[in-house]
């Protein structure tokens, strides 16, 4: 019998903010199944994030739980500048003409960009979306240093709100000065993963990886650097998705901005496609944005939200993410608990049709470790194993097992603290630290001892163990063994 810490195999990411940053609240969220804490570095103060990170690490050590830290960079988000005369809000009426200017607004019907030269890229007829797409304007004409636009959907705006230009194409820097500052701060915090916002291409991911390598004197092993999570929220990223998956460590389907950049009806199809591609590649994939959005103000989700979360699980997502629900909402703990409950129910149904039909990876290369992962899952299913146990340095072996979504728990044993936490992004994996292993025999003996100590197995259980020979060499998983617990 396997004793599980969590009820659901799908991992849950919670955005930390004023509603959840208190140490007592963080403790309850860890107990309720938070696998990854997310800091959105677009908002808040660095001092606040430092305090939250210290509390998270301390609580995780006390509870012996692998809570990972994901830091999202601000990205090249286009934002409004200040409003005329320092106004806190302005109502835009339908049919009204508004002028975008490169300078400071000189009247109440003028707006400006917070930074960046975007006026020269916007063409007549292009849509301009404000306030998360709630307000829509259409560009009409360029007049000197101003762009006139007609309000087609009315509403209220505030300073520094986001702007989306779904019809406008232009190059954005992979890392702005603000991104670089946030990246260096995230590395100082010891972030386990870095979220790259508004990725346009695989080249953006490579640029960020080069900056991390330049900034920190890392070993070449994957276990010694943070995951790079490519956030898919631009049409250009969807077009280059296969290459992005190959070079990124994980993918986030960020449906909020994606639904503003592309027709809304296309987003569910894109979500399914990206999740399937990530499954084939054995790369963790996160489904994010507005999953339980109504729970920011209500103690229970809508039926549509429950279906949305369940369908992401059915699709095969590794992780589900809560944003405003846990960062600024009124019911952060309840949102987490509700998501775990929905995921557990969805997984129970999903396992009724569980199989191993995962296609060849998108780069058409099958490594020995990939084959071992497939064989371990197939063997475990045939003999009715109670768990699959894998020894892993970088986490790669665990990913190659998890991609086949086995019914039984995946127990991952690693000597590295950061791999221990990064494994919390991967579906179905329960990580444990197992240091000081020098031989295969020693690994097998100590692995069984650890499982017994944590009451993960009992006498009579069967487990399938994967390991590498020689021990300790990255990418050398080449051994499968069936063990009956005595």
C-alpha span between 294 and 275 (Å, rounded): 25
Largest CA distance in the chain: 83
User: DSSP letters along 49-112, please?
Assistant: HHHHHHHHHHHHHHHT---EEEEE---S-EEB-PPGGG-S-EEEPTT-EEEEESS---STTEEE
The first and second tokens of residue 215, run together, are 């900034």
Is 79 catalytic? The answer is yes
Minimal CA–CA distance to 341: which of 320, 355, 323?
Answer: 320
C-alpha span between 286 and 248 (Å, rounded): 13
Minimal CA–CA distance to 316: which of 357, 266, 277, 279?
Answer: 279
DSSP bridge partners of 287: 253, 320
Is 101 catalytic? The answer is no
Asked whether the beta carbons of 443 and 437 are under 8 A apart, the reply is yes
Is 124 catalytic? The answer is no
9, 11, 38, 405: which one is catalytic?
38
Query: How crowded is residue 172: how many other Cβ atoms within 10 Å of its Cβ?
Result: 18
Is 209 catalytic? The answer is no
Minimal CA–CA distance to 479: which of 432, 433, 440?
Answer: 440
> In the structure, how many helices (H) and strands (E) does the chain have?
15, 22
DSSP bridge partners of 98: 149
6, 28, 79, 452: which one is catalytic?
79
10, 287, 289, 397: which one is catalytic?
289
Asked whether the beta carbons of 241 and 231 are under 8 A apart, the reply is no
Contacting residues for 224 by C-beta, under 8 A, at least 6 apart: 218, 416, 418
User: DSSP letters along 119-173, please?
Assistant: TTT--TT-EEEETTTTEEEEEEEEETTEEEEEEEE-EEE-TT-EEE-TT------
146, 231, 255, 403: which one is catalytic?
231
Q: Report the Cα 152 to chain-centroid distance in Å.
A: 34
Minimal CA–CA distance to 197: which of 183, 215, 211, 214?
Answer: 183
Contacting residues for 322 by C-beta, under 8 A, at least 6 apart: 12, 13, 14, 15, 291, 292, 332, 335, 336, 339
Angle of helix 46-63 versus helix 23-31 axis, rounded to 10: 50
Q: Which residues are catalytic?
A: 38, 79, 231, 289
């Amino acid at each position: 019998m396997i004793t599980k810490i969590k009820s659901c195999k799908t991992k849950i990411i919670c955005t930390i903010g004023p509603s959840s940053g208190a140490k007592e609240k963080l403790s309850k969220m860890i107990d309720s199944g938070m696998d990854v804490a997310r800091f959105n570095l677009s908002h808040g103060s660095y001092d606040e994030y430092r305090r939250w990170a210290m509390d998270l690490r301390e609580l995780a050590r006390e509870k012996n739980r692998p809570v990972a830290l994901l830091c999202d960079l601000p990205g090249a988000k286009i934002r409004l500048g200040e409003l005329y005369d320092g106004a806190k809000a302005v109502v835009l009426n339908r049919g009204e003409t508004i002028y975008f200017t490169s300078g400071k607004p000189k009247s109440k019907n003028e707006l400006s960009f917070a930074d960046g030269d975007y006026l020269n890229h916007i063409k007549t007829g292009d849509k301009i979306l404000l306030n998360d797409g709630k307000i829509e304007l259409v560009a009409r004409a360029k007049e000197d240093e101003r762009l006139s636009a007609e309000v087609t959907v009315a509403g209220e705006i505030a300073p520094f709100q986001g702007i989306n230009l779904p019809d406008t194409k232009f190059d954005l820097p992979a890392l702005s000065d603000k991104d670089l500052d946030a990246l260096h701060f995230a590395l100082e915090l010891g972030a386990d993963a870095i979220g790259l916002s508004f990725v346009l291409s695989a080249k953006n991911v490579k640029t960020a990886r080069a900056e991390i390598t330049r900034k920190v004197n890392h070993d070449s092993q994957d276990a010694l650097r943070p995951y790079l999570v490519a956030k898919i929220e631009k049409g250009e990223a969807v077009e280059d998705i296969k290459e992005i998956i190959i070079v990124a460590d994980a993918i986030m389907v960020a449906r909020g901005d994606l639904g503003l950049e592309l027709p809304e009806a296309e987003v569910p199809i894109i979500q399914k496609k990206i999740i399937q591609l990530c499954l084939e590649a054995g790369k963790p994939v996160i489904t994010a944005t507005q999953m339980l959005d109504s729970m920011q103000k209500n103690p229970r989700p809508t039926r549509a939200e429950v279906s949305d979360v369940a369908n992401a699980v059915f699709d095969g997502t590794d992780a589900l993410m809560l944003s405003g629900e846990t960062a600024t909402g009124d019911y952060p703990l309840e949102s987490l608990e509700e998501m775990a409950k929905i995921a557990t129910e969805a997984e129970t149904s999903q396992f009724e049709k569980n199989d191993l039909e995962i296609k060849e990876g998108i780069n058409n290369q099958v490594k020995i470790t990939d084959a071992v992962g497939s064989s371990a899952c197939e063997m475990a299913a045939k003999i009715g194993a109670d768990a699959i146990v894998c020894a892993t340095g970088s986490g790669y072996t665990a990913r190659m097992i998890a991609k086949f979504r086995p019914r039984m728990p995946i127990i991952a044993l690693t000597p590295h603290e950061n791999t221990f936490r990064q494994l919390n992004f991967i579906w179905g994996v329960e990580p444990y630290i197992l240091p000081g292993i020098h031989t295969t025999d020693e690994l097998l003996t100590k692995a069984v001892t650890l499982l017994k100590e944590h009451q993960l197995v009992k006498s009579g259980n069967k487990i399938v163990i994967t390991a590498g020979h020689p021990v300790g060499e990255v990418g050398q998983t080449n051994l499968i063994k069936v063990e009956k617990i005595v």
